[in-house]
Amino acid sequence: MNTLTAARNRYTTKAYDGTRKIPPEKIEALLEVLRLSPSSVNSQPWRFIVASDDAGKARIAKAAQGTYGYNASKVMDASHVIVFAAATDMTAAHLESVLAQEERDGRFRIEGAKEGQAKGRQSYVDLHRYDRKDLQHWMEKQVYLALGGTMLAAATLGIDATPMEGFDFPLLDAELGLREQGYTSVVLLSLGYHGEKDFNARLPKSRLPRAQIMTFI
């Protein structure tokens, strides 16, 4: 399926067929797309927790109770659920890890390239930490870049998806021990195949016209 067709056909799934699982080769391809997600200055300030069985999904579903109970079935009936988490700080250890991986991948082909990359990335971290004072927000923006790319990739693979912010963030962080690891949950993504009760599958897509949202200069 090409990108435009996928964009036209994808929608937010409201109910899943709990009997259907995503084939291993498709979920592996999707997780590789997720790993390859872009981020500002290749900072990669994220962690992804993937649940594929009932026990794992039940842990995530604990955060979809009470006010957020409407999302519980979207977690439990989906084939897979991914917790998208952002780092709570851009640590020196993380920056060193990213730099070391870039070196292993052969990105520094000229003298001074490694030092220049480290300095440039640190300048952006310092900009958001000290000047704009929005480091956490900046890191969460990178997580949403990963979310968008993964959702489009899922559509090209014929996989239905549901992004969800409707869950108890502190509860999920505690359940998964995220804050102790230096992360905090940002958004969930359920993946699988829609069921008969998915009313949204039968509704036409609605978006504002191009003339209303685009300006050409």
Residues serving a catalytic function are 14, 74, 165
Question: Could you count the other beta carbons within 10 Å of the beta carbon of residue 157?
Answer: 18
Q: What is the largest CA-CA distance in the chain?
A: 60
Beta-carbon contacts of residue 44 (< 8 Å; ≥ 6 apart): 98, 142
CA 87 to chain centre: 13
Beta-carbon contacts of residue 22 (< 8 Å; ≥ 6 apart): 30, 79, 80, 159, 191, 192, 193
Six-digit token pair at 132? Answer: 């704009």
Q: Is 188 helix (H, G, I), strand (E, B) or coil?
A: strand
